[in-house]
Amino acid sequence: MSDLLEALLGDLRAEGDQLWSAVAGLDAEAWATPTPAPGWSVATQVAHLAWTDEVAALAARSGTPEGKAAWDDVVLAAIGDPEGFVDTSAHEAARLTPQALLARWGTAREALTTALREVPAGEKMPWFGPPMSPTSMGTARFMETWAHALDVYDALVPLGLATRPEPSDRIRHVAHLGVRTRDFSYSVHAEQPPAEQFRVQLVSPSGETWAWGPEEATQTVTGSAYDFCLLVTQRVHRDDTDLVATGADAEHWLTIAQAFAGPAGPGRETR
């Protein structure tokens, strides 16, 4: 296992622990609090993370006969309901008691970490899109954990049931994924991505500068890394960020960017 994967798994654990602390002491009524995602409560958000961690662990273990059979069952379920099986799974798990749901998520988190560590070096694991390396899967799980946690905080903080954590430099994983998925964002909208690479230069929560792409690029994006991460996870409207795009292509990308798999989401309304 690489040092990069181990560091990533540490960040994933820290992000999950932060959310765990926010919800562990809530009663059933608080778990039913609606979040900004239409139709999703706090319980649905955590249930989705638990289910996806479980499925990712199955994918990581698909190299064994037992693991392949379990993964094939998941794929068949997805084929049977391609538009709704993810939401259905989240809503089903959300019916558990808070204690049972937390226990399930805790087991899933541990299983995922173990499974990713055990993937043989150089091998990739299947997923619903292209196969992924353990590091890529860990990055995707971090992104989802961070983004769904934001929805939970948005629901609980106004009620005085939680405090919003300060942004940390762990969000570099989300920013990196947001940059890497540029062309995917275009494909989701049936558009051809620009041939030219963009320069993305962001300021981290700690004040560091993070940069991707050639310095000489004519299409650029600059601004807050936190705002960029909110945007590519569709947790904020483009107009409510401090991001500055130079070039029409870069500006258009910021209106369609998404770091998550699946169809384009509706995004958020402007504040």
Higher pLDDT among residues 270 and 243, named by residue: 243
Q: What domains appear along the chain, each with residue ranges and CATH number? A: 3-138 (1.20.120.450), 172-256 (3.30.1050)
Taking the C-alpha atoms of residue 112 and residue 54, their distance in angstroms, rounded to an integer, is 7
Q: What is the pLDDT of residues 192-205, one digit of tens each?
A: 999 999 999 999 99
Mean pLDDT, residues 104-131 taken together: 94
For residue 127, which of 140, 113, 117, 114 has the smallest C-alpha distance?
A: 140
User: What is the pTM for the complete model shown?
Assistant: 0.95
Specify the pLDDT at position 271.
Answer: 78
d(CA 238, CA 230): 9
Residue range 76-96: average pLDDT? Answer: 86
Confidence band, pLDDT 50/70/90 cuts, at residue 30: very high
**49 has pLDDT over 60:** yes
Given this model, what pLDDT does residue 144 score?
Answer: 97
- The per-residue pLDDT for 1 is 57
Question: How far is it, in rounded angstroms, from Cα 40 to Cα 37?
Answer: 5
